Amino acid sequence: MNATTQTIATQPDASTTLTGAEVLMKVLVDQGVEVVFGYPGGAVLPIYDALFQQDRIRHILVRHEQAAVHAAEAYARSTGRVGVVLVTSGPGATNAVTGLLDALMDSVPVVCLTGQVPVSLIGNDAFQEADTTGITRPATKYNYLVKRPEELAPVVNEAFEIARSGRPGPVVVDLPKNITVGPAPYAPPSRTPRASYQPRTEPDRKAVARAVAAMKSAKRPLFYVGGGVINAGKEACADLTRLIHMTGFPCTATLMGLGAFPGSDKQFLGMLGMHGTYEANLATHDCDVLIALGSRFDDRVTGRVDAFSPHSFKIHADIDPSQINKIIRVDVPIVGDAGRIIAMMIEEWEAQTAKPDTKALETWWSRIKAWKALDCLRFTQDKSADAIIKPQQAIKRIYELAVETGRETFVSTEVGQHQMWAAQFFKFESPNHWLTSGGLGTMGYGLPAAVGAQVAHPDALVIDISGEASALMNIQELGTIAQYRLPVKIFLINNHYMGMVRQWQELLHGSRYSESYSDALPDFVKLADSFHAKGFRATKMSELDDTIRAALEHDGAAVIDICVAEGENCFPMIPSGAAHNEMILGPEQEEKGAEITDEGKMLV
């Protein structure tokens, strides 16, 4: 029987005695959970039995617990809801740790339910016992070990509240088997907040007013937008667009902030940071007022901290007070929900009578347009039929042909050069459609993330842009895609190298490509076939467009092996440890020898 159909339409009556597993099902339903990503094992069999006996929650059987978390992350990020994971004790829980840390770094709301040995056996080195709360403490926003039946419902309800509120993040609930097997009382969700957890969402009006006063006096302003704005919701993103249009200021975004502001808008400068655009990075370096919204000054953005936007008056809005002045000292800190802060900025912009310096702003835009005219993402593609495909050309055409379909499109990526090219060449017009591992940089993220996005949006076009090395990290999830008939399109940008590793080996280690080349790869077309998907391959320019179109038009899952130039590097780039105005724009500058300090080498 297919896992999607093995349900019976029964719900336990609250008046009857419920097992802990049955209580758990009721609480998940209370929390609006419709999908759980997981993998069964001995410690969670009572929960799987309770799942079998209900028809409200769908379970997606993944092939590896790490993939369960990535799928739940993408489900959460593409819907704005909490992603839910269910794994067993011991190795089931430890396999989930990479995903949990990934969710923590990127502020993704996930509740991970882990099985545990019975309370009486904890500490006895029982079969598949692991100190799950101890192991996951640094990888989660919060975690619990439920030791008494009456704790079960309140703890799970509280886990959802903590995961989704404040700065979102992953929460683990460790469930000993005796808790889920034995009787437990049911309790409905409570709005009573935990005394020790009081996220501050309402911003200080005076701080916002001071920030807007600085914005009105700016001569070279710049908005710098991060994923916190997307986490604040679609209304926050709509208000952000309104605010930026009201001010006329330029805007740049972090990797995680792509989509918060329309990518094709004339006021958008593209991504900033290590592989950001020339105009975004130069504007960051030269601006006089920097308005950082929902971003955390990641080292991939700041480069050399002491040279980061050295002459600007800095405004930093973040819901996490621990991020304020953590990396970059700022002039106006604002703690609160990004949506509330942006809405309040709009009110203040309209209320304050001071007029912005429009002449200075025109001059600032003239400088920016001169930087844009450099066309920093340009590349040279031989258009002859037998020409080798450049990876930039492949990704550019995937984007353009996906747009031609007119379908709502979600894009996940693995990690590496292809990830940066996707960030450079795709234009995300709305939030929640770009799914990538930013903080942890997890190879193997994209394929299971595509699973989560396709489950959440069954009628949408879901694309995974991948390198061949990253894809192999979680390639077993092709089995999940086959089982649930998910029409995911997996584009492999295949250069036989761990491309970003190779690029850094050129810069830092004299082009000694130590273990970054994959000499033996599977035949991805045959691999697709073995997982009941359709395989495609393009090896030269004349095949590229037709192959992409055929894959996009295919009714089911597809793996598209695009063989690209092996030695192509990703530009522009800021050498690690350098300032934003010290970018390398192309291979010519790289060959002359990019100057990378010893401190910078440590940051790779």
Please list the active-site residues.
65, 127-128, 177, 500
User: Helices (DSSP H) in 460-553: which residue ranges?
Assistant: 468-473, 478-483, 499-508, 524-530, 541-553
The DSSP code for 165 is S
Residue 334 token pair:
């604002």
Q: Which two tokens stand for residue 80?
A: 């704005």
Cβ–Cβ under 8 Å, residues 199 and 75:
no
Residue 573 DSSP symbol: B
* Nearest alpha carbon to residue 19 among 54, 48, 50, 43: 50
Nearest alpha carbon to residue 295 among 226, 222, 203, 223: 226
Angstrom distance (rounded) from CA 162 to CA 150: 19
Cβ–Cβ under 8 Å, residues 234 and 259: no
Picking from 48, 49, 143, 132, the residue whose alpha carbon sits closest to that of residue 91 is 132
Residue 115, phi-psi category: left (phi > 0), alpha (psi -120 to 50), beta (remainder): beta
Burial zone of 49 (CB within 10 Å; 0-12 exposed, 13-18 middle, 19+ buried): middle
On whether the CB atoms of residues 250 and 281 are closer than 8 A, the answer is: no
Q: Do 567 and 423 touch, CB atoms closer than 8 A? A: no
What is the β-pairing status of strands 558-563 and 83-87?
unpaired
Sequence-ordered strand ranges (E) for 328-436:
332-335, 409-413, 434-435
| DSSP secondary structure letter of residue 257 | T
> What is the three-state SS of 101-163?
HHHHHCCCCEEEEEEECCHHHCCCCCCCCCCHHHHHHHHCCEEEECCCHHHHHHHHHHHHHHH
Tokens at 350, concatenated:
């309209």
Q: Give the C-alpha separation, 367 to 382, whole Å.
A: 32
Strand-pair partners of 225 = 253, 293
> Is 103 in contact with 73 (CB distance < 8 Å)?
yes
For 30, the enclosing helix (H) or strand (E) is helix 20-30
Q: What separation in angstroms does the CA of 154 have from each of 88, 158, 332, 352, 409?
A: 21, 6, 39, 46, 38
| Look-up of token digits 């990479």 | 98
Nearest in space to 83 (alpha carbons), one of 38, 36, 39, 142: 36
Residues 253 and 394: their CA atoms lie apart, in Å, by 24
- How many CB atoms are located within 10 Å of the residue 466 CB? 33
Cα–Cα distance for residue pair 490/445, rounded to 1 Å: 13
